[in-house]
Amino acid sequence: MGKIKDPVNFSTAFGIDKGKINATGVVDVILNADTNLFIDPLLLEDSRHQEIAQSGNSRYRQHFETVIKLLVASKAEGDVAWRNAKRRFQFHEIPWTCLGYGGTVRGSGFGNELIASTLATAKEIVELGVSDVDLFMALALFEEGIGPDRISDMTTNIILPDLLSFNERVINELALTPSEHIINGNKYPLLTNLCSERGEPLLLVPVDVVRDLPIATDWSDISRVVSENENLRDRVSSHVGEIWATMSRKEKARLKNAALRSKESFNTVLEMLHQSKGLAYDIKSDMGGEVFWGDLVTSIAANYPKDLSGYKGVALNQDIVFKVVGEIIDQFQYLVEKRDLWRELWDEKLECHRKEKAAQRLFFAVADSYCKSNGLDLTPEAETGNGPVDFKVSTGYAGRVLVEIKLSANPRLLHGYEKQLEIYRDAEQTFNAYFLVIDVGGLGKKDQQLIYLKNQQTKSGHKASEIVFVNGLPRESASKRV
């Protein structure tokens, strides 16, 4: 898992109004880091964009119909039919969408070993008499190495001509000026990723075909659908048992064996997949915090200035960096508690709070905004997934401070702090750290327990992270208060 610094989203880089982006229906991606969303082929047919719902979906299904026919025709691995099937299963990584799990916009495609093992399993399935093209999505349920990135890469490769057509129309609707880019030997009018040092193209993707996890790896939805559907529950119980409810490598192998027992068994797996098809990622509520933070990097310091100019040009040693980060945390607390930034921690209807990753990215956006606006020689970096914000002096590691952000609702809140203490004890690291707890409910007595852990660590003569509690609970507007 890589790290992100200086994030820039599409709308900001190209000066496009956010409302116009939403109306056009494209993902407002971060241009210099992967947005953790993925194209789910099960969503193609329901897209509101004709290029995707009609041409793209048809192209995807025809591609795998051909692969299935070739596997049926193949008599032995390595024969002509097998080689042709293999050729159609060579999906390389396409970084221009800025989607995926990498820290940069680079990911990984299908290697030779993965292609060989996947085709071998697919061959077993078609020999059962299964011809549904979604069998290739089902493979992600029990085939090691096939996850969200590769499902997305696979789909992007196949529908690339339709994504290019979609981009040509959208660029025109947004009144942007494209540049000429060569893809697969052909010239296309596409936008250039303004954050790419090599001037690579930017391939915009429709909002309504992306998910935070493709359904084939999101077991929560599958579990829910099966439990609510008596007929399907009975079929699952009869054909593949309850093995599918767990996701370790061992259980994946057992599910694979169960699913390949018969055509009926595998069709049960496919039915679970089809009935569990969920909705595209809700960009508006953005519960995973995938896109909202890119907007805040450029606006927080402008709307709520914080003067840290006294540190500009100062040699930032360990103690000074710790003090600067402490002031940024104080400002973050003030914004959340007194200036309604708590709203960014919740969905619009206040039905539930966003995921912990969203809170971590919210803090990163605040920190990055203030470091930039004050011209500090201090660079915050954020994990692409869940993880700490790491402040480093840009000229070296003389000053380094970690900020771990946790929600009070996290059942492993205490464990997170204990893990930091272990790092201090075992590695004698030369960094300082803050442990930032955002209260969104469910805190109970964990605040007291955290303080106890800190005091015990200090008494034993070891370093301990500073603990800061921030009230992120919803407030009534001033007009509604009595």
Domains in the chain, number:
2
333-347 mean pLDDT: 94
Kindly report the average pLDDT of the chain as a whole number. 85
For residue 158, the enclosing domain spans: 3-275
Cβ atoms of 333 and 363 closer than 8 Å: no
> How far is 53 from 51, CA to CA, in rounded Å?
6
> How far is 130 from 127, CA to CA, in rounded Å?
7
Does 266 fall in a domain? yes
Q: 275, 308, 332: which is the final residue of a domain?
A: 275
Pair (384, 455) in one structural domain: yes
Does 112 fall in a domain? yes
For residues 87-116, one letter each, b for 16 or more C-beta atoms within 10 angstroms of the residue's C-beta and e for the rest, the string is eebebebbbbbbbbbbbebebebbeeebbe
pLDDT digits 0-9 by tens, 250-285: 566 777 887 888 999 889 888 888 887 778 888 888
Min mean pLDDT across 241-255, 397-411, 447-461 is at: 241-255
Pair (247, 152) in one structural domain: yes
Give the three-state DSSP class for 393: strand
Does 282 fall in a domain? no
Long-range contacts for 109-115 (Cβ within 8 Å, ≥24 apart)?
109/150, 109/153, 110/150, 110/153, 110/154, 114/145, 114/146, 114/150, 115/86, 115/89, 115/90
pTM above 0.85, yes or no: no
Pair (214, 306) in one structural domain: no
Does 287 fall in a domain? no
Does 113 fall in a domain? yes
Which tokens belong to 363? Answer: 């803090």
Q: 212, 246, 275: which is the final residue of a domain?
A: 275
Pair (222, 302) in one structural domain: no
pLDDT digits 0-9 by tens, 59-77: 999 999 999 999 999 999 9
> How far is 57 from 51, CA to CA, in rounded Å?
9
Pair (249, 302) in one structural domain: no
Pair (267, 297) in one structural domain: no
Pair (349, 269) in one structural domain: no
Q: 247, 275, 303: which is the final residue of a domain?
A: 275
pLDDT value, residue 253: 76
Residue scoring higher pLDDT (224 or 265): 265
pLDDT value, residue 279: 81
The helix, strand and coil proportions of the chain, stated in percent and rounded to the nearest 5, come to 50, 15, 35
Does 146 fall in a domain? yes
Per DSSP bridges, beta strands 378-383 and 3-4 are antiparallel
Pair (271, 302) in one structural domain: no
Pair (424, 467) in one structural domain: yes
Pair (330, 224) in one structural domain: no
Which tokens belong to 410? Answer: 């996290």
Does 283 fall in a domain? no
Does 329 fall in a domain? yes
pLDDT digits 0-9 by tens, 136-181: 888 877 777 777 788 888 999 999 999 999 999 999 999 999 999 9
Nearest CA among 158, 201, 162, 197 for reference residue 181: 201
Pair (207, 87) in one structural domain: yes
Query: At 226, is the pLDDT very low, low, confident or very high (cuts 50, 70, 90)?
Result: low
Min mean pLDDT across 303-312, 375-384, 389-398 is at: 389-398
Query: At 103, is the pLDDT very low, low, confident or very high (cuts 50, 70, 90)?
Result: very low
Pair (303, 271) in one structural domain: no
